[in-house]
Chains A and B, each alone.
Chain A
Amino acid sequence: MSETLLEVKNLVVHHGQLKAIDDVSFSLNEGEVLTMIGANGAGKSTLLRTIAGLHRQTSGSIFFKGEDISSFAPHRRVAKGVSLVPEGRRLFSSMTLQENLQVGAFHAKKGPFTIERIYELFDWMAPRRRQRVWQLSGGEQQAVAIGRALVANPKLLLLDELSLGLAPIIIERIYSLIPEIIAQGVSILVVEQDVAQGLAVADRVHCLLEGKTSLTGVPADFTPEQVERAYFGAGLVATTSREGES
Chain B
Amino acid sequence: MVWLNVLVQGILIGGFYALFACGLSLMFGVLKVINLAHGDMAVVAGYVAVFLTPHLHLPEVWSFLIVVPIFTLVGYVLQRTLIQKSIDRDPFTTLLVTFGLSVVIENLLLEIYSANGQTVNIGDLIAKSWHPASIIYVSYVSLGVLGVAVLVLFILQLFLSKTGTGRLIRAVADDREAAQLSGANYRHIFGIAASLAFATVALAGIAYGMMTQFAPTSGGVNLLFAFEAVVIGGIGSLWGTLVGGIALGIAQQFGAHINPQYQILAGNILFLVVLALRPQGLFGRRTSLA
Binding site for B on A (CB under 8 A): 52-54, 73-75, 78-79, 83-84, 86, 90-95, 99, 102-104, 106-108, 148-149, 152
Q: Which residues of B contact A (CB under 8 A)?
A: 164, 167-168, 170-171, 173-175, 177-186, 285-290
- Chain A residues contacting B180 (CB-CB under 8 Å) are 53-54, 73-75, 78
Instruction: Pick the residue among A90, A93, A106, A149 that contacts B167 (CB under 8 A).
Output: A106
Are B183 and A106 closer than 8 Å at their CB atoms? yes
B-chain residues with CB within 8 Å of residue A54 when the two chains form the complex:
177, 180-181
* A79 CA / B173 CA spacing, docked (Å): 21
Contact residue among A53, A91, A99, A108 (Cβ-Cβ distance under 8 Å from B178): A91
**CB within 8 Å for A103 and B179 given contacts A94-B174, A94-B285, A94-B289:** yes
Contact A107 B184 (CB under 8 A): yes
The DSSP consensus for interface residues of chain B is helix
CB-defined A-B contacts under 8 Å, sample of 20 = A52-B181, A54-B180, A75-B184, A78-B182, A86-B177, A90-B178, A91-B178, A92-B170, A92-B178, A92-B179, A93-B288, A94-B287, A95-B171, A99-B167, A102-B164, A103-B182, A106-B167, A107-B183, A149-B181, A152-B182
CA gap between A107 and B168 in the complex, in Å: 10
A65 to B8, CA, bound (A): 66
How many A-B pairs have beta carbons closer than 8 Å: the answer is 82
Q: Would you give the shortest CB distance from B171 to chain A, in whole angstroms?
A: 5
Chain B's closest residue to A89 (CB) is B178
Contact B183 A79 (CB under 8 A): yes
A108 adjacent to B183 (CB under 8 Å): yes
Q: How far is the CA of A216 from the CA of B104 in the complex (A)?
A: 59
Q: In the complex, what residues of A have CB within 8 A of residue B170's CB?
A: 92, 94-95, 99
Q: Are A90 and B177 in contact (CB under 8 A)?
A: yes
**Within 8 Å CB of B171, what residues of A?**
92, 95, 103
**Most chain B beta-carbon neighbours within 10 Å: one of A74, A78, A102:** A74
Task: Tell whether, in the assembled complex, residue B177 and residue A93 are in contact, meaning their CB atoms are under 8 Å apart.
Answer: no
* Among all A-B residue pairs, the 4 with the closest Cβ atoms: A94-B288, A107-B183, A78-B183, A74-B180
Most buried by A among B167, B175, B178, B182: B182
Shortest distance in angstroms between A136's beta carbon and chain B's nearest beta carbon? 15
| Across-interface contacts of A94 in B (CB, < 8 A) | 170, 173-174, 285-290
CB pair A92–B181 under 8 Å, yes or no, is no
Distance of A96 from chain B, by nearest CB (Å): 10
Check B164–A92 contact: CB distance below 8 A.
no
Closest to B188 in A: A75
Across-interface contacts of A73 in B (CB, < 8 A): 180, 185
A90, B183: Cα distance in complex, Å: 14
Give the chain B neighbours of A95 by CB distance below 8 A: 167, 170-171, 174
Residues of A within 8 A of B178 (CB): 86, 90-92
Contact in complex: A103, B177 (CB < 8 Å)? no
CB–CB A78/B181 < 8 A: yes
Q: How far is the CA of A148 from the CA of B171 in the complex (A)?
A: 12
